[in-house]
Homo-oligomer: A and B are copies of this chain.
Amino acid sequence: MARLDGTLRELTVYRMRRATSDVLSVVKDALEPFGLRRQTFSALSVICDHPGIRQSQLADTLAIERPNLVQVIGDLENRGLLMREQVPEDRRMYSLHVTNAGAITYRQAMRTLRKVDKTLTAGLTSDEVAALNRALHLIELNAAGETADGSQLSRS
């Protein structure tokens, strides 16, 4: 039987939502054995690469609202994967560092996610994956530009 959502599939935005929805489900399952959720994994990754980063910088990087980052950081801290240190020069801030356990967990989880990435893009050449990544990046920039200003589209 032919697809009943054929017209919708003419829209790239619909295809993105459908594909991403399934992909995030796979990612969630892949991270579950590590006790990580997508956001805790992403935070761990950025903190590993940038020791001493502040929560507000992390929030900006991951496009997460500051209040929503609180529980992510708290989760990682409770699991002993992360440490917070008050910054002496400005005691409003906390600098974030991963623990040894955090670094190990991150490396294992990242290795698993790279495999997931391979699995999900199986059937595409490396050039096609590169083209896909470029296209996604361009769309992300276009979309961010649309939401930033008072876009005409939302005014009928």
Contacts and interface: CB of A to CB of B under 8 A. Distances in A.
A147 B13 contact: no
A53 B3 CA distance: 13
Contacts of A147: 22, 25-26, 29
Interface in A55-69: 57-58, 61-63
B153 A26 contact: yes
A70 interface: no
Contact of A5 (B16, B45, B114): B45
A11 to B, nearest CB: 5
Given A6-B49, A11-B113, A15-B140, A151 B21 contact: no
A148 to B, nearest CB: 10
Contact of A19 (B18, B116, B140): B140
B132 A120 contact: no
A103 interface: no
